[in-house]
Amino acid sequence: MQLDKFLENFREQIDTIDHEIIYLLSRRFALVEQIWNIKKELNVSALQEKRWEQLMNNLLEEAKERNVNSDLVTKIWKLIHEESLKIEK
């Protein structure tokens, strides 16, 4: 079918991006683990509220500039943040 061939290229691009997202999450969580090792040595709390607020403000501003739904960004980063906090325990 012509439609399937037409859509195949787009789907391949989406698949590539999905794999990149997984790779980037893996890298992000590896960095979180490194940060946690430093925080433990310095007896610093895992949750840094000021940093979290700054991060969310920056991400929401970028989402707005790129026309990405801010509620979606908030939901995704809350999940990422929760997972990061699990790593830092």
DSSP notation for 3-31: HHHHHHHHHHHHHHHHHHHHHHHHHHHHH
**Structural domain range at position 6:** 2-87
Q: What angle do CA 28, 80, 59 make, to 5 degrees?
A: 85
pLDDT tens for 6-57 read 899 999 999 999 999 999 999 999 999 999 999 999 999 999 999 999 999 9
Number of compact structural domains in the chain: 1
Which of residues 1 and 63 earns the better pLDDT score? 63
The letter for the amino acid at 12 is E
Predicted TM-score of the model (pTM)? 0.87
The token duo for 68 is: 């990405």
What's 60's domain CATH number? Answer: 1.20.59.10
